[in-house]
Amino acid sequence: MQVAAKLTASGLTRQCFRAARMPCRPRRGLATRVAASAAPGEYDFDLFTIGAGSGGVRGSRFASAYGAKVAVCELPFDYVSSDTKGGVGGTCVLRGCVPKKLMVYASEYAEEFKAAAGFGWTLPTGAISHSWTAFIDAKRKELLRLNNAYKNTLNNAKVTLVEGRGKVVDAHTVEVDGKRYRAKNILIAVGGKPTRLNIPGAELCITSDEALELPACPKKIAILGSGYIAVEFAGIFSRFGSEVHTCFRQPTPLRGFDSEVRKFANEQYVAAGLHLHPSVNPVSVQRQPDGKLSLTVKAVEGGATTTLTDLDQVMMATGRAPKTQGLGLEEAGVTMGAKGEIVVNDFCRTNVPSIWAIGDVIDRIQLTPVALMEGMAVAKSVALSQPTKPDYWAVPSAVFSNPEIATVGYTEEAAAAEFGDLDIFTASFKPMRNTISGSPIRTFMKVVVDANTQKVVGMHMVGADAAEIMQGFAVAVKMGVTKADLDSVVGIHPSAAEEFVTMRTVTRKVRRNA
Ligand SMILES: Cc1cc2nc3c(=O)[nH]c(=O)nc-3n(C[C@H](O)[C@H](O)[C@H](O)COP(=O)(O)OP(=O)(O)OC[C@H]3O[C@@H](n4cnc5c(N)ncnc54)[C@H](O)[C@@H]3O)c2cc1C
Ligand SMILES: NC(=O)c1ccc[n+]([C@@H]2O[C@H](COP(=O)([O-])OP(=O)(O)OC[C@H]3O[C@@H](n4cnc5c(N)ncnc54)[C@H](O)[C@@H]3O)[C@@H](O)[C@H]2O)c1
């Protein structure tokens, strides 16, 4: 694990928040008290939430179900977010998980058509084509449907929805477009926004927001960064037939993931047709006389520059920043971190006892299910007076790249640092589907076992259906499954998943004192 460990206010290491690959247990003993009761009528609401995204909606409706009087405010709807536009559902539903996965599905058909030939299908020549605008229209309709469904959910849960930009005035007051509301507790769930690198030509680039709303599929695109968003969109555009160039600072993509997984994923991305440009820093983006773009990058070592030309788009996928600017938090005395994230304790409570914060804005693990967990914890704390900590142990995650990656628990590097002695089991194979389809893509599976307790402390997979497979194994890891338990399970044949219960030979033993 290369991210420096650093204690946060919650007593959890920063390292363990880098997307669940170094799961730590919360430090005990940070006391919390639920906000003191108020005199009846003193407040308009028991809880006022700013932001109706994943965490805000979940926290609000659970608090309401527990008997609290709850309101939530949200910016007016748009497909692309800004300081004045958002929409009920938030990033995941409108500009993240959902539209991204719809794009993954849409792009996968291209591969399916190709693979079908290997299985004897003849596709009519020239008859297969894709309408980008038809797809974007269908995607937009679905997002609008979901936006309405979320509004209905809030309505059915008796949560008052206020449209407009929320701002904290003081410990118990929220202002939405000039109107003030008094609340016993305030929950900040405003999420984050895509960041742009400060390089010449940054304004010519798109981010994930715009990438989901392009008027046409780019013929040639450069993507900066190699985190979740970069590799997912690289897979999407490449399957749609774009020439995709991914430029990143590290030697392999997906910093923070298990290094064997990174190396294997790197090989598969190349096999899948991506043009990878590792160990480079972006320098500038220019508009060519013909309207296309060019991108100049500089080698991390040696400083040689390379210019990619004739690009239809340059996408920055270089991280997201908490959306806390102008929210009135500093004025209300809330402690903020260096990146603008809200500092909270183990209970998602800020240093101002009536103000709580969850989701991307606290910059722990930026995943929807984590924001949901945090929202439910705060709902219990404030509405049931049951102080509740979110549990960050064994949070699984998946990268919907081509091929998919899924992981739960420790990377080998983090586990070696934590436990010292490990037994590592790995398998690499060509999945049956790819044997006669002609696809070169292989699958990799890895089990990390603490040698002293024989507990499985990490599981990783690169390959088709990794997300679907890993969800079930995450339950086992969270319950403390041992390698012997895995070995005792009968496989489902033929499947890739069965490999996880049939690995009998240790690939290598990692010993602290070897
Ligand atoms: C491209 C992309 C793909 C992703 N894919 C996945 C995935 O596959 N799986 C996964 O688990 N996670 C994924 N994520 C991450 C996931 O979307 C976030 O972790 C999750 O949405 C965080 O929820 P949240 O409630 O903290 O914030 P958000 O969902 O961002 O919600 C915050 C809400 O607050 C509103 N808001 C902001 N400021 C104000 C204000 N002042 N007043 C009123 N309202 C305000 C915003 O408009 C927004 O609706 C993805 C993210 C991106 C960008
Ligand atoms: N499938 C999923 O669950 C999923 C999908 C998308 C996003 N997300 C969440 O959203 C978060 C944000 O995603 P992301 O991909 O934008 O962030 P990220 O932190 O995963 O990746 C950021 C990338 O930008 C690079 N970068 C940062 N600063 C740079 C600089 N100055 N110059 C060059 N490169 C730079 C980093 O090295 C890294 O490759 C993720 O952490 C993840 O938690 C999850």
The secondary structure of 32-68 as a DSSP string is --PPPP--TTS-SEEEEEE--SHHHHHHHHHHHHTT-
What mean pLDDT is predicted for residues 238-242? Answer: 97
Provide the pairing of β-strand 397-399 with 45-50: unpaired
What is d(CA 67, CA 45) in angstroms, rounded to the nearest whole number? 11
Atom of ligand 1 nearest to the CA of 327: 41
Exposure letters 438-454 (e unless 16+ CB within 10 A, then b):
ebebbbbbbbbbbbeee
What is d(CA 255, CA 371) in angstroms, rounded to the nearest whole number? 22
Return the residue matching tokens 């003849």.
122
Instruction: Give 286-330 as a DSSP string.
Output: EE-TTS-EEEEEEETTT--EEEEEEESEEEE-S-EEE--TTSSTT
pLDDT tens track for 188-205: 999 999 999 999 999 999
Ligand 1 lined by 461 (C-beta under 6 Å):
no
User: What confidence category does residue 514 fall into, taking pLDDT thresholds of 50, 70 and 90?
Assistant: confident
Residue 509 β-bridge partners: 423
497 alpha carbon – ligand 1 mean position (Å): 31
Is residue 376 within 8 A of residue 58, CB to CB? The reply is: yes
pLDDT at 56: 98
Shortest-distance Cα residue to atom 11 of ligand 2? 366
What mean pLDDT is predicted for residues 142-158? Answer: 98
User: What confidence category does residue 39 fall into, taking pLDDT thresholds of 50, 70 and 90?
Assistant: low
Q: How far is CA 121 from CA 66, 105, 112, 434, in A?
A: 56, 21, 11, 15
pLDDT tens track for 353-363: 999 999 999 99
pLDDT at 127: 72
| Res. 186: pLDDT tops 80 | yes
Ligand 1 lined by 225 (C-beta under 6 Å):
no
Q: Which of 40-54, 338-352, 415-429 has the lowest mean pLDDT?
A: 40-54
| Res. 24: pLDDT tops 60 | no
| Res. 20: pLDDT tops 80 | no
Q: Where are the alpha helices (DSSP H) in 384-457?
A: 412-419, 432-437
Burial class (CB in 10 A: 0-12, 13-18, 19+), 458: buried
Arithmetic mean of pLDDT over the chain:
92
Atom of ligand 2 nearest to the CA of 224: 34
Question: Residues within the annotated binding site for NAD(+)?
Answer: 225-232, 319
Three-class DSSP category at 353: coil
Ligand 1 lined by 59 (C-beta under 6 Å):
no
Ligand 1 lined by 355 (C-beta under 6 Å):
no
Query: What residues have CB less than 8 Å from 349, skipping those under 6 apart?
Result: 32, 355, 356, 378, 381
What is d(CA 180, CA 177) in angstroms, rounded to the nearest whole number? 8
Three-class DSSP category at 138: helix
Is residue 186 within 8 A of residue 44, CB to CB? The reply is: no
Identity of the amino acid at 389: K
pLDDT at 28: 32
User: What confidence category does residue 27 fall into, taking pLDDT thresholds of 50, 70 and 90?
Assistant: very low
Give the chain's radius of gyration (CA, Å).
24
Helix (H) or strand (E) holding 163: strand 160-163
pLDDT tens track for 315-336: 999 999 999 999 999 999 999 9
What is d(CA 337, CA 342) in angstroms, rounded to the nearest whole number? 6
Q: Is 172 a catalytic residue?
A: no
pLDDT at 124: 80
334 alpha carbon – ligand 1 mean position (Å): 21
| Res. 32: pLDDT tops 50 | no
What mean pLDDT is predicted for residues 259-282? Answer: 98
Residue 179 β-bridge partners: 176
Provide the pairing of β-strand 179-188 with 160-163: unpaired
What mean pLDDT is predicted for residues 270-283? Answer: 98
What mean pLDDT is predicted for residues 417-433? Answer: 97
**Token pair of 20 as six digits:** 């669940």
**Token pair of 394 as six digits:** 């064994």
User: What confidence category does residue 497 fall into, taking pLDDT thresholds of 50, 70 and 90?
Assistant: very high
Q: How far is CA 184 from CA 46, 167, 487, in A?
A: 5, 15, 52
Instruction: Give the rounded percent of residues in the chain with a pLDDT score beyond 90.
Output: 89
Segments of 27-156 assigned E as strands: 45-50, 70-74
CA dihedral 485, 487, 489, 491 (to 10 degrees): 150
Is pLDDT larger for residue 21 or for residue 135?
A: 135
| Res. 1: pLDDT tops 90 | no
Cis peptide before 369 (omega within 30 of 0): no
pLDDT tens track for 247-262: 999 999 999 999 999 9
What is d(CA 59, CA 361) in angstroms, rounded to the nearest whole number? 14
What is d(CA 173, CA 9) in angstroms, rounded to the nearest whole number? 25
Question: Residues within the annotated binding site for FAD?
Answer: 101, 166, 360
Is pLDDT larger for residue 390 or for residue 36?
A: 390
Atom of ligand 2 nearest to the CA of 368: 3
Which of 172, 275, 460, 493 does the annotation list as catalytic?
493
Q: Where are the alpha helices (DSSP H) in 172-310?
A: 208-211, 228-239, 259-271
What is d(CA 245, CA 223) in angstroms, rounded to the nearest whole number? 6
Phi and psi angles of residue 307, each rounded to the nearest 5 degrees, phi first: -120, 125
pLDDT at 40: 54
The residue count for the chain: 514
| Res. 125: pLDDT tops 90 | no
Does ipTM come in above 0.85? yes
Ligand 1 lined by 253 (C-beta under 6 Å):
no
Is pLDDT larger for residue 215 or for residue 122?
A: 215
User: What confidence category does residue 123 fall into, taking pLDDT thresholds of 50, 70 and 90?
Assistant: confident
Is residue 17 within 8 A of residue 8, CB to CB? The reply is: yes
Residue 365 β-bridge partners: none
Domains of the chain: 3-93+137-194+321-383 (3.50.50.60), 202-317 (3.50.50.60), 403-510 (3.30.390.30)
Q: Which of 74-83, 222-231, 342-351 has the lowest mean pLDDT?
A: 74-83
pLDDT at 513: 85
> Distance from CA of residue 332 to its chain's centroid?
30
What is d(CA 367, CA 348) in angstroms, rounded to the nearest whole number? 16
User: What confidence category does residue 350 fall into, taking pLDDT thresholds of 50, 70 and 90?
Assistant: very high
